[in-house]
C-alpha cells in the first residue's frame, strides 16, 4: 500500500516504541534481590520468588523476591529507625528530597513508561502521556506541601510509619499518590506493590537511591497476600493506606479494628456516565472512550454505566458503535494502540464470565468485528444494551472494557439510576447547560464528578469515594490530612458500662413518677420493647427511668433521620440560626440542667454550671462555623476549575460518653448538625436523663423532625446496631475499647466512616475538643471538575 492508498484508507501502520533500554534494564537486574529495605537490596528471607509476565504475550519477565512476615518486620524496623530524624527534618529539607525524586523520574520517564506498558499491558500513549507525567507532578507538587506544612496545617504532625498497599492497574501512579504525601508529612513508608506489576516500583527504589532519600525512609517490599497481611497487622505501623477491591478493603477494615491505626481506603467503583439530551454527542462519545476503554477499563472510576436520555439514546448508541469499530486493539508498545491486553489470564477469564452472565440476565452484548492478537490476554471492547438496573453488568465492577447502557426520562430518574449502586467513587455529567450539570453534581453520591469530561486527575485535587468505594482522599489538601494527626486532649480510659442494679432508695419528693421516652422523628416515643432502665442519682437514689432502646428503635430512628430532607437541604445560614436558637433556649434553662448534672454526677454546683455554660458556648461555636467551614476551588494545570465541595456525610450515629454527659453529647452532635448531617445519638448510659431533658429544648428550637434522634439504652448494644446498619453513613463512638473495636469491625457492611476514641475519652472542656478537627469528620469532600473555554 502506497502513501496515497494509505491516506484514502486512513489505516494506521505499526508505530512500535523501542524497548531495548527496558530489556537491557531487565537483563541487568538481579530480581532475586528486589526487596528495598533500609536502603539496601535484599533477597526474601524465605528464599521465595514469584513470576511476573508480559500481558501481551504471556512471556516471563522476571522472578521477583517474595517477602514474608520476617521481611516486613525488617522493613518496619528500618522505617521506625529512620522516622525520628526524618520527622524532625525541616519542611525545606523534605521538599528538596521530594523535588529531587521528581526530577530524577523526569530524566528516566521514558524507561518508566516502557516498563509500565510491558509489565501492565496499558498502551504506551497512556503510560507515556498520563501515568508517568502525573506521577512526577505528585512529587513536585508535594514538595510544596512539605515546606508549607507548618503554615497550612498548624498543630498537625506526620502520623508515623505508614504501610501502603497498591494495585496493578496504575502501578507507578498509585505509588506516587501514596508515597509523595507521606514523605511531605514527615512519615516513613513501607510499600507493597501488586504481584502482577512490580517492575516500576523497583525502578523507583533505584531513583530513591540516586535522589538522596535517607535510608529507611522509603522501603519497598515485593510480595503477595502474606506480605500484605503482615503490613496490615503489624503493630509498628500507625497508618494503612490501601487501594484495591472493596472485598479486600473490608478485610483490612476488620483487621485494623481496635488497633488505633489510621486508615484510608480507595476501593472499587461503578461510575455513572450521564448524557443529557442537550449534550454535544460527539464530545460525549470521545469522553466515553476515555471513560471506559482507558486502560482497558481496568480503572476503579471507569464510566462503566452509560445513562442516556431516551430522546437521544438511539443516536448516541449508533455513534458509540461506530467509534468502537475504530478502536485499535493490539500491542501496548504500539503508539497507535487504543486497547491493550488485560493484566493477566485470571482477569481475562473474570471479565468473560461477567459478560456471559450479563447476557444470561438479558443484556445484549455487542462487540466490533475485529481480530484479536494471536497471543496475550486481550478482550474486545463490549457494549451491553437492554441492561436492567439489577443486571450484574450494572451492579458489579467488571474491571474490563465493558460498558453497560441504560436510559432515563428526566433528571430525577437519571440521579436515581446513578445512585443505584453500593459504590460512590466518580461520575460524569454531560450537558451544554451548566446550570443543569451543577444541579445534578451535588446530588450524585460520588466523591468526584466530572462535567463534560472524565478521568481527569491532578495532584492538587482530592480523589476518593463514598459508600463501598472507601473513605479518605488522595491528592491536594484533603490528601495531606490522611498522613497527619493532631494531638487531641485525651481523657482517662473508659471502662465498660456495668449494668446497674435498681437504686436502693426511691427519690425524695412528691413528684409524679415519669419515665422519659425516646426521641425519634421529632416525637417522644415509647421503646419498642417496652422496657425501661433505672437511673440513679450520685447518692444512689432513683432519679427516674428512661426507655431501654433496642435494634428496632435504632431502625426507626435511622429511618426518621434518612427521611429528614429539610435539614441537609437547608442553607448553611439557616442551620446556623437553628443552632443559635438551640443555644439560646438551653441558656434559658441553664439552672435546671446544672441542677440535673449535680444530682446525677455529684458535680459541684459551680462545675455543673460551667459544663452547661461550655455546652452553650460550643453550640455558639458551631452555629458560627456552619456557614464558614467551606470548600475550596482548586486550579489544576488544565482549562478547568475543581470545586472541592463540603457535603454532609449523611446519617451519623453518635455514641456519647459518660464523662461530661451534656458537654460531650453537645460537642459531638453540634458539628454533625452544623454540616447538614442528621443524627441518631445514644447518650451516656449512666446519665441519660441529661439527654432526655433536651427533648423540649429541641422541640421548641425549630429543629426539623428527624434531624436529631435520641435513643437511650445500652451503649455497647446500641453502638453495635448502629455499626451494622447499612443506612448509617458515619459513626462516632466514645466508649470502652471493646465497644469501639467491635463498632469498627462491624461497620464493614457498607464501609461507613467510623471515628472512635479507641477506649479513651477526651477533655471535652478543652479548646482542642472543638473546631475544624470535628467539622472535617462531619463532611465528605466532593471534587467537581468544571471545564471552561471553547
Q: 3-class DSSP state for residue 133?
A: helix
Strands 760-762 and 40-42: unpaired
Strands 632-634 and 640-648: antiparallel
Phi–psi pair at 113, nearest 5 degrees: -65, -45
Rounded Cα–Cα distance for residues 303 and 428 (Å)? 7
DSSP string spanning 315-331? HHHHHHHHHHTTPPB--
Q: 751 with 253: CB under 8 angstroms?
A: yes
Q: How many angstroms separate the Cα of 664 from the Cα of each of 336, 368, 501, 570, 611?
A: 62, 62, 25, 25, 9
Rounded Cα–Cα distance for residues 609 and 601 (Å)? 13
Query: Residue 499 gets which letter from DSSP?
Result: P
Active site annotation includes 266: yes
Q: Which three cell numbers stand for residue 297?
A: 477499563
Rounded Cα–Cα distance for residues 615 and 689 (Å)? 16
Active site annotation includes 208: no
Rounded Cα–Cα distance for residues 191 and 208 (Å)? 13
Taking alpha carbons only, the member of 105, 112, 121 closest to residue 54 is 121
Q: 250 with 263: CB under 8 angstroms?
A: no
Q: Which of 54, 126, 266, 478 is the catalytic position?
A: 266
Q: Which of 116, 187, 195, 300 is the catalytic position?
A: 300
CA angle 140, 639, 788 (to 5 degrees): 155
Give the count of beta carbons closer than 10 Å to the beta carbon of residue 705.
17
Rounded Cα–Cα distance for residues 506 and 113 (Å)? 78
Rounded Cα–Cα distance for residues 753 and 730 (Å)? 5
Burial class (CB in 10 A: 0-12, 13-18, 19+), 185: buried
Query: Residue 276 gets which letter from DSSP?
Result: -
Q: Element (H or E) spanning 471, and its range? A: strand 470-471
Catalytic residues: 266, 300
Amino acid at each position: 500500500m502506497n502513501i496515497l492508498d494509505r491516506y484514502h484508507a486512513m489505516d494506521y501502520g505499526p508505530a512500535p516504541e523501542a524497548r531495548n533500554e527496558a530489556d537491557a534494564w531487565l537483563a541487568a537486574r538481579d530480581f532475586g534481590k528486589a526487596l528495598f529495605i533500609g536502603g539496601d537490596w535484599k533477597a526474601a528471607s524465605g528464599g521465595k520468588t514469584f513470576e511476573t509476565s508480559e500481558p501481551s504475550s504471556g512471556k516471563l519477565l522476571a522472578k521477583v523476591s517474595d517477602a514474608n512476615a520476617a521481611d516486613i518486620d525488617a522493613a518496619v524496623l528500618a522505617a521506625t529507625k529512620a522516622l525520628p530524624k526524618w520527622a524532625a527534618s525541616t519542611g525545606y529539607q523534605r521538599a528538596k528530597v521530594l523535588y529531587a525524586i521528581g526530577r530524577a523520574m523526569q530524566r528516566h520517564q521514558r524507561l518508566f513508561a516502557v516498563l509500565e506498558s510491558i509489565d501492565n499491558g496499558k498502551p504506551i500513549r497512556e503510560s507515556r502521556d498520563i501515568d508517568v507525567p502525573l506521577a512526577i507532578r505528585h512529587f513536585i507538587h508535594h514538595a510544596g506541601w512539605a515546606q508549607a506544612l507548618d503554615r497550612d496545617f498548624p498543630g498537625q504532625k506526620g502520623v508515623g510509619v505508614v504501610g501502603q498497599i497498591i494495585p496493578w492497574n496504575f502501578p507507578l501512579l498509585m505509588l506516587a499518590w501514596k508515597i509523595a504525601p507521606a514523605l511531605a508529612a514527615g512519615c516513613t513508608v513501607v510499600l507493597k506493590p501488586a504481584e502482577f506489576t512490580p517492575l516500576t516500583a523497583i525502578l523507583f527504589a533505584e531513583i530513591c537511591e540516586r535522589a538522596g532519600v535517607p535510608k529507611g525512609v522509603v522501603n519497598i517490599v515485593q510480595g503477595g497476600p502474606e506480605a500484605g497481611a503482615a503490613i496490615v497487622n503489624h503493630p509498628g505501623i500507625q497508618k494503612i493506606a490501601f487501594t484495591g477491591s472493596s472485598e479486600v478493603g473490608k478485610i483490612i477494615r476488620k483487621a485494623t479494628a481496635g488497633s488505633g491505626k489510621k486508615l484510608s481506603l480507595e476501593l472499587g467503583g461503578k461510575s455513572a456516565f450521564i448524557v443529557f439530551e442537550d449534550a454535544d454527542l460527539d464530545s460525549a462519545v470521545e469522553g466515553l472512550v476515555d471513560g471506559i476503554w482507558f486502560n482497558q477499563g481496568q480503572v476503579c472510576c471507569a464510566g462503566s454505566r452509560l445513562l442516556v436520555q431516551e430522546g437521544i439514546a438511539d443516536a448516541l448508541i449508533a455513534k458509540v458503535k461506530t467509534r468502537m469499530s475504530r478502536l485499535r486493539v493490539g500491542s501496548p508498545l504500539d503508539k497507535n494502540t487504543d486497547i491493550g491486553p488485560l493484566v493477566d489470564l485470571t482477569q481475562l477469564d473474570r471479565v468473560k464470565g461477567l459478560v456471559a452472565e450479563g447476557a444470561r440476565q438479558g443484556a445484549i452484548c455487542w462487540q466490533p468485528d475485529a481480530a484479536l492478537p494471536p497471543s496475550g490476554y486481550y478482550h474486545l471492547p463490549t457494549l451491553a444494551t437492554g441492561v436492567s438496573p439489577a443486571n450484574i453488568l450494572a451492579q458489579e465492577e467488571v474491571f474490563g472494557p465493558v460498558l453497560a447502557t441504560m436510559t432515563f426520562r428526566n433528571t430525577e430518574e437519571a440521579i436515581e439510576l446513578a445512585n443505584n449502586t453500593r459504590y460512590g467513587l466518580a461520575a460524569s455529567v454531560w450537558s451544554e447547560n451548566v446550570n443543569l450539570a451543577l444541579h445534578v453534581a451535588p446530588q450524585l453520591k460520588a466523591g468526584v464528578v466530572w462535567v463534560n469530561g472524565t478521568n481527569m486527575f491532578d495532584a492538587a485535587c482530592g480523589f476518593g469515594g463514598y459508600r463501598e468505594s472507601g473513605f479518605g482522599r488522595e491528592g491536594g489538601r484533603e490528601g495531606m490530612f490522611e498522613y497527619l494527626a493532631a494531638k487531641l486532649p485525651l481523657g482517662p480510659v473508659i471502662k465498660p458500662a456495668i449494668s446497674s442494679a435498681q437504686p436502693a432508695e426511691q427519690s425524695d419528693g412528691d413528684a409524679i413518677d415519669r419515665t422519659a421516652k425516646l426521641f425519634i422523628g421529632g416525637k417522644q416515643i415509647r421503646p419498642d420493647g417496652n422496657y425501661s432502665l433505672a437511673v440513679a442519682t450520685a447518692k444512689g437514689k432513683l432519679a427516674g427511668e428512661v426507655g431501654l432502646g433496642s435494634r428496632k428503635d435504632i431502625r426507626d430512628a435511622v429511618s426518621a433521620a434518612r427521611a429528614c430532607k429539610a435539614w441537609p437541604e437547608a442553607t448553611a445560614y439557616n442551620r446556623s440560626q437553628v443552632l443559635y436558637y438551640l443555644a439560646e433556649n438551653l441558656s434559658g434553662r441553664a439552672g435546671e440542667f446544672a441542677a440535673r448534672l449535680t444530682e446525677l454526677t455529684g458535680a459541684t454546683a459551680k462545675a455543673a454550671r460551667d459544663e452547661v455554660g461550655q455546652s452553650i458556648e460550643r453550640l455558639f461555636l458551631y452555629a458560627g462555623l456552619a456557614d464558614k467551614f467551606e470548600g475550596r476551588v482548586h486550579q489544576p494545570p488544565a482549562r478547568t476549575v475543581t470545586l472541592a465541595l463540603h457535603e454532609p456525610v449523611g446519617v451519623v450515629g453518635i455514641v456519647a460518653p459518660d464523662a461530661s454527659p451534656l458537654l460531650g453529647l453537645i460537642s459531638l452532635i453540634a458539628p454533625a448538625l452544623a454540616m447538614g448531617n442528621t443524627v441518631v445519638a445514644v447518650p451516656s448510659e449512666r446519665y441519660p436523663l441529661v439527654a432526655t431533658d433536651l427533648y423540649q429544648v429541641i422541640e421548641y428550637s425549630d429543629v426539623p423532625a428527624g434531624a436529631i434522634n435520641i435513643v437511650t439504652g445500652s451503649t455497647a448494644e446500641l453502638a453495635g446496631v448502629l455499626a451494622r446498619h447499612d443506612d448509617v453513613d458515619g459513626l462516632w463512638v466514645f466508649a470502652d475499647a471493646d465497644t469501639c473495636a467491635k463498632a469498627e469491625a462491624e461497620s464493614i457492611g457498607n464501609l461507613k466512616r467510623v471515628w472512635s476514641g479507641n477506649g479513651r475519652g477526651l477533655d471535652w472542656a478543652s479548646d482542642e475538643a472543638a473546631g475544624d478537627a470535628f467539622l472535617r469528620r462531619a463532611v465528605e469532600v466532593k471534587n467537581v471538575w468544571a471545564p471552561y473555554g471553547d
